[in-house]
Chains A and B, each alone.
Chain A
Amino acid sequence: MRTGKPRSLAEHAPLIYPALMLLVFFVIPFGIMLAVSFFQRVQGGFYEPSFTLDNYGRFLSAFFGNVLGFSLGLSALAAVICVGLAFPFTYLLTRLARRRQIAWLVFLLSVLSLSEVIVGFAWSTLLSRSAGISNLLVAVGLMAEPVSWSPGFAALLIGMCYLAFPYTVLLLYPSLVRLDRELVEAAMTMGASPLRAFFTVVVGAARNAILSGLILAFVFTLGIYLLPQLLGRPQHWTISVMITDQTIYQSNLPFGAAMAIFLMLVSLALIGLTLLLGRQKAAG
C-alpha cells in the first residue's frame, strides 16, 4: 500500500516485536561472534576477552591457505557444473505445460529440502562397492567388477552438485519464466536452428541471470559442511568443515569465529556483486 509515514507510537507498534527479535537473536549474536573472533583462547576450551589479531593471523599459514584454496576451487567447479546443467534444464522446464511444471517444482522443492545428512548417506550408498551403481553396471556388462567410488573427490563433487542443483534451478527459474518466448520464435523464423537460437538468444538475454546463478551457487556450496565428512577424505575438508571442527571438537571458538567472519565477508562481497548485476539489468 505504502501511503505516508508512520507517526504515532501506535502506528509503529507492529514493528516493535519483530525488530526486537531480529536485533536480540540475530544482530547481537553476530556482534558477539565478531567480538569473540578477537578474543584470546585459554586452555581448557575457554576464552577470555582481549584484543588480538592472532586468530586472523592464522589464515596466513600454509595449512589454512590450502584449505581455503581447495574450498574455493571445489565450490567454483561445483557452481559451474550446476549452472551448466541447471540452465538448459530450467529453460526447458519453463516451456512445459503448467501442470507438469508444477509437478517438477514440487519434486525439486522436496529434493531441496532433503537434509545434507540424508543426501550424504544416499550417495555414499549409491557409490559404494556393496550396493552401488557399479553393481548395476556389472549386471549389464559394462564393468568387470563392482568398485567403490566413495569416499573420494568425485563423490564429494557429485554430492555437492546434487545439493546445489535444485537450488540453482529455483534461482534461475524467475528470470527464465519471464524471458520473452517471441525472441526465440523470431530467431527461428529468421532461420536459426533451435540449438543455435538457444545459445545465442536465450543465453545472451539471460547473461546476468547466469552470472548471479553462478555466484549464488558458489556461495551455497561454500556453506556445505557435512558432505566433505561423509563423501570426502580428510584432505577434502572445506572451510565450513574447519569452522565446525575448530569450534566443536577443538573447542577453539575464537578461531572458528574468525573463520566464520572471513567466510561471511567473502559471501557478502559476492552477494553484493549479484545485486549490482541485478541493478544493471534493471537499468539496461
Chain B
Amino acid sequence: MLKKRLIPVLLLKNGMLVRSESFDIHQIIGNPIHEVARFNEWNVDELIYLDMTRDDKYDLGRDDHRVRGMSDPLDILERVSETCFMPLTWGGRVRTVDDMRARFSRGADKITLNTAAYRTPELITAGAKVFGSQAIVVSIDTKRFDGAMEVMVDGGRTRTGVSSVELAKQAEDRGAGELLLQSIDRDGTGEGYDLELIHAVASAVKIPVIACSGVGRYEHYVDGIRAGASAVAAANIWHFKELSDRGGKRALAKGGVDVRL
C-alpha cells in the first residue's frame, strides 16, 4: 500500500530561501543549499522547490544568506540534487520543453507548471510525452471570489476566470501526473488548508493531489488527507518549528494515516 507523503516546500527568490504570506510578502529566511542537509538528516519523503524570482520585483533584504556566485537558479538546483537522495520537484519559470529538459538534466525528478499550464496547456502534453506523466506536476494557485474557486496566474497577480476544478480536470486530461494545490487566501495564515478546494479537486480527478498552503499545526495535515489529498505539503511550518518532520509524521500516524515513519 502506498504511503501518504509529507512534503516540505522551499520557496526561492533571487537565490534565497523565503517565507511567503498571501503570495506577496516574502521574508528571507535562509540558504537553499544548507537547508537540504537538514531535510536529508530528517529522512523526509520528497522535496519541492519553487523559484518565485520575478524580474520586476526588488527585495530590500539581507544578502548574507545568498548563495555566493549563484545567480542562476539552475546552479542551485544542481547543488541541491548532489545531496538530495529523494524525489526532487522543481518549479518556476518553466515555459518550454527545453526549460524542462534543462531542469531534469540538472537533477530534478519532476517539474511543476503553473502559469504555463493555463496559458499553453499543450506544454503539459508535450512534456508528458518526452519525460513521462510522472515527471509533470501542474501547480494550481486558487483565490476565492465570493466563495468561488478561481485560478490565479503570474504569481497570484492575474485572474483567469477559470475554476480550479476545471483547470485540474484539463491538466489531468492533458497528461499531468500530479497536481499541487495552493491557496492564496490561506498562504502564510496558519489557519489550515482550504479543505473544500482539496476535496473538490481530489474528487474530480484520479491523479494524486498534493495539498498546500495554510498549515499552522501538524493536525492540519490529517485534515488534508481526509479531504482527499495523497500528499500534504507546507512551507513555513518547516522553518519555524523544530523536528517538523517527526512532528508532522506523528500527527498523521495518530490520525490513522499510513505514512513512512
Tell whether A pairs with B. no
